[in-house]
Structure 1
Amino acid sequence: FTFNTLPMLKGFMYSFTNYRGYGGYDYVGFRNYKDLFTDLRVGKSYLFTFKYALVGTVLVNVLSLIMALGLNSQIRFKSALRGIYFVPNILGGLVIGYIFSFFFTYIVPAVGNALNISWIQNSILASEKYAWIGVLIVGVWQAVATNTIIYISGLQTVPEDVYEASNLDGATKWQEFWKVTLPLVVPFLTINLVLSTKNLLMVFDQIMSLTKGGPAQSTESISYLIYRNG
């Protein structure tokens, strides 16, 4: 109750005030809820957040499952590779964001100028139309690590006898994946879908370190808007 229900009730109470997280506050009635549906900036942040979460969830789970299938196969240095692929999840979101900010701002444009590739000669983070893709790349890159580990755990629960039976029936690798592997890892897929959607809807660190909501407020998420305006 103390760590779940009580904060939720207090949050609901504060939604009728102008409380900014500190200091005093006054009751403002339904003004905050009215702004939720009439403020264009709020609407824009909701659209960005849901677009980011939807595309990100699909990419994260597709890439994670492919990665897990590769790391679960009979390859050399399998344990070492699993450790390497988990590194992005160890680093903080802000740290990764600042690293990629330097990469997108200086490295990629330098390569574009050197190779005369016009579409990467300018930083993607400076583009109002495409900056969200830069934020998405960083968010997906970091999220893939945890989901891959969960998928590997799921793949290891599939009995070898099932694969042997499918081979005897003449199933191809593609048929084996769709008819055997995927149905048996659906519980793990469900977990990953929920976790990745939740985490991507809460995107903040990547925006703080990469774009600070810009350019022209095109990458403001709900979390970042709350941080900026209370």
Structure 2
Amino acid sequence: MNSQTKPRNVKRGLNNGKEINVSPSVSLHSNRKLKDAGLFVLFVGPALLAFTIVVIIPFLSGIYYAFTDWNGVTGQIKWVGFDNFKYLFTEDKQFQKSFILTTKYTVVAIILTNVIGFGLALLTTQMLKTRNVLRTVFFMPNLIGGLLLGFIWQFIFVKGFASIGQFTGISWFEWAWLGDAKTAFWGIVIVSVWQGAGYIMMIYIAALQNIPQELIEAAKIDGANRWQVLRHITIPLVAPAVTVCLFITTASSFKIFDVNLSLTNGGPFKSTEMLALNIYTEAFVNNRYGMGEAKALIFFVVVAVITLVQVMYSKKREVES
């Protein structure tokens, strides 16, 4: 081959007056990268922009307002440093009561929602002719909004239970369910569990249906009863679903707001005011937006830490099927 002849797969170019060889494969690779970057910006860019505007920017601005005394209305903003946080931990007794009450409610709601949801999943995965109907009925409360659900159950507690009590003579139906601090708390628990158990049930159903039936049949052949099968096979194999359900119920229970607002509005005498409602009242009713943001920031950190610890602990106990 003549030394002056260039191979077909090489292009000539100039770099500072010097001739260089560029392979077409390199050029195609660069074009493909540009095309992929363009597609990424086209499809992900709008969602990322919306997420930044709706979530990231308000979150960062909220952190700033947590260190101010802004009332949420005027343009006068005074930097107060950690004064808001000092006040919350030393003088704001209602915030501390709401925090303790929310923690208590979260523990109760997590246990009841998961136990009832898992029980419903076991029931509706049996060979029942009505299992699809039962699944629909149990899941339907989750489709009702929290505000509407609270008003419906407010009528049930006030009017419905009183009528049932008069008709049957059962005393606990005649209690002032929303007029007493203890019963009002359990009223919120009842409504929340009634709404959330059906959703949790669907997650557990999906996990139960993925358990190999050969393992269960082998255990029964070896003489294992239903409780032993449930304890040693079913529960370990649905551990990933347990992790997900615990995360969902933990986050949703800590953030309860709509049911609390519509059912009791924090009453009687703020005895059922959960943390989210306390933050809302501080910021938008008392017009102390800076203080409300300080509460929200503490709330965010606590929920983030608890859910992170819960997920890490649950992941360690998972067993792959």
Aligned counterpart in structure 1 of residue 165 of structure 2, from 106, 112, 118: 112
Note if contact 1:57-1:196 (Cα within 8 Å) is conserved in structure 2.
Answer: yes
User: CA 1:22/1:154 → structure 2, altered by over 3 Å: closer, same or farther?
Assistant: farther
Supply the distance in 2 between the matched residues of 1:20 and 1:146 (Cα, whole angstroms).
39
User: CA 1:206/1:156 → structure 2, altered by over 3 Å: closer, same or farther?
Assistant: same
- Structure 2: runs of 5+ lacking an equivalent: 1-50, 284-321
Q: Structure 2 counterpart of 1:33, which letter?
A: F
Q: Could you give the per-residue CA deviations for residues 182-229 of structure 1, whole angstroms, max 9, x where no partner exists? A: 000001001000100100101111111111001011111111011111
Size of the aligned set, in residue pairs, is 230
Supply the distance in 2 between the matched residues of 1:165 and 1:4 (Cα, whole angstroms).
51
Q: How much does 1:86 deviate? A: 1.2
* Mapped pair 1:138 → 2:207: no
Supply the distance in 1 between the matched residues of 2:282 and 2:221 (Cα, whole angstroms).
62
Q: Give the TM-score taking structure 1 as reference length.
A: 0.94
- Structure 1: runs of 5+ lacking an equivalent: none
**What's the secondary structure of 1:187's corresponding residue?**
helix
Supply the distance in 2 between the matched residues of 1:22 and 1:15 (Cα, whole angstroms).
15
Supply the distance in 2 between the matched residues of 1:118 and 1:165 (Cα, whole angstroms).
50
Q: Structure 2 counterpart of 1:220, which letter?
A: E
Please list, as runs of the form range in 1=range in 2, the aligned pairs for 1:88-99 lying within 5 A after superposition.
88-99=141-152
**What's the secondary structure of 2:272's corresponding residue?**
coil
Supply the distance in 2 between the matched residues of 1:212 and 1:109 (Cα, whole angstroms).
21
Q: Look up the match of 1:156.
A: 209
Q: Look up the match of 1:182.
A: 235
Please list, as runs of the form range in 1=range in 2, the aligned pairs for 1:28-67 lying within 5 A after superposition.
28-38=80-90, 39-67=92-120
Supply the distance in 2 between the matched residues of 1:12 and 1:178 (Cα, whole angstroms).
46
Note if contact 1:98-1:209 (Cα within 8 Å) is conserved in structure 2.
Answer: yes
Q: Structure 2 counterpart of 1:213, which letter?
A: G
Structure index of larger Rg: 2
**What's the secondary structure of 1:148's corresponding residue?**
helix
Q: What is the percent sequence identity of the aligned residues? A: 39
Q: Look up the match of 1:12.
A: 63
Q: Could you give the per-residue CA deviations for residues 137-193 of structure 1, whole angstroms, max 9, x where no partner exists? A: 001111111100000000011011111111111100000000000000001001000
Q: Structure 2 counterpart of 1:50, which letter?
A: T
Supply the distance in 2 between the matched residues of 1:67 and 1:22 (Cα, whole angstroms).
48
Q: Look up the match of 1:193.
A: 246
User: CA 1:138/1:22 → structure 2, altered by over 3 Å: closer, same or farther?
Assistant: farther
Q: Look up the match of 1:78.
A: 131
Q: Look up the match of 1:202.
A: 255
Q: How much does 1:34 deviate? A: 1.4
Q: How much does 1:16 deviate? A: 0.6
Supply the distance in 1 between the matched residues of 2:244 and 2:188 (Cα, whole angstroms).
24
Aligned counterpart in structure 1 of residue 267 of structure 2, from 214, 225, 228: 214
Q: CA RMSD in A?
A: 1.6
Supply the distance in 2 between the matched residues of 1:124 and 1:31 (Cα, whole angstroms).
39
Q: Could you give the per-residue CA deviations for residues 36-66 of structure 1, whole angstroms, max 9, x where no partner exists? A: 2121100010011111111000000000000
Q: Look up the match of 2:292.
A: none
Q: Look up the match of 1:147.
A: 200
